[in-house]
Amino acid sequence: MKICLLSDSHDNIPLLCAAAAAAKQRGAQAILHCGDIVAPSTLKKLTAYDLPVHAIHGNNTGDLYALSKVSHTPESLIRYYGQDATITLAGRHIFLVHYPHYAQAMAVTGKYDLVCCGHTHKVSIEQITNIKGTQTLLCNPGSVGGVGGPATYMLGDLETMAFETHTITIAD
């Protein structure tokens, strides 16, 4: 199963939508957003891609009640969890959180195959040796909103645990 990792969209809807469209075209079957979506209207834009969306909030939260409400309609593919989330996709245990220090601590527990975070607006992929003596993959997809640098997202394969970074540009 291929997944699209996003973070820090900061209401940049054109870049967010461009990343979701590109990831879907490359075979993504789900979107994981690591926070700083901001407005509920931004989150709703992801419904156009007909992919399950797993999202958390960050430190730029906007209207938390309305963000949560988006995921509570029966037909919604969006799941909005709050501060963090534990999900299982394709047999992989995944933890989503906005803050890197929190993500690193969760990676060390050995309970997860993949831990994803955001906040720094900087792309990183690293293997963390956990307390079980195995490896946990820790990914930060950077800022899909292009805050402080290029707009980026990650595409990952949960079968092989291979992740790659992609840059998004929009023609003016």
Is residue 29 exposed (0-12), middle (13-18) or buried (19+ Cβ within 10 Å)? middle
- Going by DSSP bridges, is the β-strand pair 30-33/53-55 parallel, antiparallel, or unpaired? parallel
Q: What is the DSSP string of 42-68?
A: HHHGGGGG---EEE---S----HHHHH
CA distance 139 to 32: 11
Domains of the chain: 2-168 (3.60.21.10)
Per-residue pLDDT of the chain (172 residues; tens, 9 = 90+): 999 999 999 999 999 999 999 999 999 999 999 999 988 889 999 999 999 999 998 988 777 778 787 777 778 899 999 999 999 999 999 999 999 999 999 999 999 999 999 999 999 999 999 999 999 999 999 999 999 999 999 999 999 999 999 999 887 5
Q: CA 71, CA 36: separation in Å to the nearest integer?
A: 16
Q: pTM to 2 decimals?
A: 0.95
